[in-house]
């Protein structure tokens, strides 16, 4: 009976052995780096009540989130499309510490639509968050950690883009811009639509209007910071943000191939409030890791705390690496011989892969992924090259 039960939904894929082991190792490498850097692992659930996951009221996030009904409560549940808000909930409510909390996580998230043609709807998100510190030091700590995480995976030649949401927020506040117009301006700046921007800023007072029109042009290398000082109004918030960008760029220089500044970059996540950053690699059109400051997210859970963090998708990162096959194993014949069983156990204890050839069919043993075999020589089981 022919059927198509084996078909997967679009943008949903299995990980087969070579990829699965590689990603498992990548996960272990990054989590170990984060652990040694003082970050504690948390594992929030795959589903929660929809209100807990859709904090910040992002329409984009709402559309990307799968909803379903909880038979136990009758309420609407959502599958997480992002882990950051869950970790903020844990910091705000469960751990409830007054000082600094460093947390990390690794887990799948699900999206109703892929974020790009080459992307999966089930990214494997890994990341770290630092709560309880509002200064530049914590921004730089997580930025370093993101670049170190990429380096630990063998991903080099990374370009780092820095931005600062406080610049736009300061202009909106000083210009007396209402929340509806602010949202429109935000979208327009993200899409870098200069013509639409021109129409939106028309009624604003000149220094704010001119500054908003300048923002999309303020991208490039670190020289952009000096240009911004010249063309943006000298509000103290603007000066402070530019100082922070300058210090962070100098601090991160040794860890990146190049550093760019993009002052119209406000990130798709609506919850960011301060410095934002994204890593790029020649192998990917999209950012390969990103993060930023989001000091207000905890408020949704009853406790606003300064916060900054980064995240990346291990499946996307895996695509940047050269393919690598798993190590090969040792084929063992299937025989009820205590000396053979002991030898197999010893090899496995030493870290070798040993696969027992239960069928004993020479034409099929190629599938068992072995390049050596156990043979009996002079009464002892020894490892020999596998003749194919």
332: CB partners within 8 A, 6+ apart: 340, 343, 344, 354, 355, 356, 357, 373, 374
Segment contacting a copy of itself (CB under 8 A): 104-112, 157-165, 219-227, 259-267?
Answer: 104-112
Q: Report how far residue 112's alpha carbon sits from residue 79's, in angstroms, rounded to the nearest whole number.
A: 10
Q: How far is the CB of 97 from a copy of itself (least distance, A)?
A: 5
Please select the residue that binds a copy of itself; options are 156, 191, 324, 326, rule is CB under 8 A: 326
Contacting a copy of itself within 65-84 (CB under 8 A) = 66-68, 70-73, 75, 77, 79
The gap from C-alpha 297 to its chain's centroid, in whole angstroms, comes to: 18
Site string for a copy of itself, 253-292 (x = CB under 8 A): ----------------------------------------
Query: Which position has the token pair 């931005």?
Result: 163
Distant-in-sequence contacts of 377-383, Cβ < 8 A, 24+ apart: 380/339, 381/339, 381/340, 381/343, 383/330, 383/347
CB of 271 to a copy of itself, least distance (A): 14
Minimum Å distance from CB 133 to a copy of itself? 5
Q: Which residues of 211-231 are buried (b: 16+ CB within 10 A; e: fewer)?
A: bbbbbbebbeebebbeebeee
CA atoms within 13 A on the CB side of 150: 29
Which of 101, 143, 273, 308 contacts a copy of itself by CB under 8 A? 101
157 binds a copy of itself (CB under 8 A): no
- Under rule CB under 8 A, residue 16 binds a copy of itself: yes
User: Using CA atoms, how far apart are residues 8 and 257, in angstroms rounded to an integer?
Assistant: 39
Q: Quick check: 346 binds a copy of itself (CB under 8 A)?
A: no
> Can residue 211 be called a binding residue for a copy of itself (CB under 8 A)?
no
Q: Does 98 bind a copy of itself (CB under 8 A)?
A: yes
324 binds a copy of itself (CB under 8 A): no
User: Contact with a copy of itself (CB under 8 A): which of 271, 329, 381, 386?
Assistant: 329
Query: With CB under 8 A as the contact rule, which of the stretches 131-139, 168-176, 191-199, 212-220 interacts with a copy of itself?
Result: 131-139
- 339 lies in the site for a copy of itself, by CB under 8 A: no
Work out the burial of residue 380: count CB atoms within 10 Å of its CB; fewer than 13 is exposed, 13-18 middle, 19 or more buried.
exposed
Q: What is the largest CA-CA distance in the chain?
A: 94
């Amino acid at each position: 009976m022919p059927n198509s039960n084996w078909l997967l939904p679009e943008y949903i894929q299995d990980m087969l052995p070579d990829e699965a082991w590689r990603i498992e190792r990548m996960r272990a490498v990054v989590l170990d780096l984060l652990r040694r850097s003082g970050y504690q692992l948390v594992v929030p659930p795959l589903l929660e009540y929809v209100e807990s996951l859709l904090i910040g009221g992002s329409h984009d996030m709402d559309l990307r989130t799968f909803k379903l009904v909880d038979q136990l409560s009758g309420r609407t549940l959502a599958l997480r499309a992002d882990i950051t808000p869950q970790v903020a909930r844990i910091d705000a409510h469960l751990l409830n510490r007054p000082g600094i909390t460093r947390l990390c996580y690794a887990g799948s998230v699900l999206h109703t639509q892929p974020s790009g043609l080459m992307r999966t709807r089930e990214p494997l998100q890994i990341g770290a968050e630092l709560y309880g510190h509002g200064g530049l030091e914590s921004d730089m700590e997580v930025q370093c950690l993101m670049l170190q995480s990429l380096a630990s995976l063998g991903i080099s030649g990374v370009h780092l883009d820095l931005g600062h949401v406080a610049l736009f927020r300061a202009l909106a506040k000083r210009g007396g811009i209402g929340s509806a117009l602010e949202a429109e301006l935000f979208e327009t700046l993200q899409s870098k639509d200069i013509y639409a921007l021109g129409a939106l800023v028309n009624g604003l007072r000149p220094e704010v209007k001119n500054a908003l029109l300048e923002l999309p042009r303020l991208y490039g290398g670190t020289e952009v910071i000096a240009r911004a000082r010249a063309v943006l109004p000298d509000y103290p918030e603007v000066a402070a943000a530019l100082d922070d960008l300058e210090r962070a760029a100098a601090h991160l220089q040794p860890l990146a191939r190049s550093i760019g500044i993009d002052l119209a970059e406000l990130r798709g996540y609506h919850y960011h409030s301060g410095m934002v950053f994204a890593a790029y690699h020649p192998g990917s059109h999209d950012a390969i890791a990103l993060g930023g400051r989001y000091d207000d997210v905890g408020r949704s859970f009853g406790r606003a705390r300064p916060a900054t963090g980064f995240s990346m998708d291990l499946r996307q990162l895996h695509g940047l690496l050269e393919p690598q096959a798993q190590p090969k194993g040792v084929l063992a014949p299937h025989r009820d011989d205590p000396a053979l069983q002991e030898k197999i156990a010893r090899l496995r204890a030493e870290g070798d892969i040993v696969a027992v050839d239960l069928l004993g069919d020479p034409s099929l043993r190629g599938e068992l992924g072995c390049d050596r075999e156990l043979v009996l020589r002079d009464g002892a089981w020894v490892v020999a090259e596998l003749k194919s």
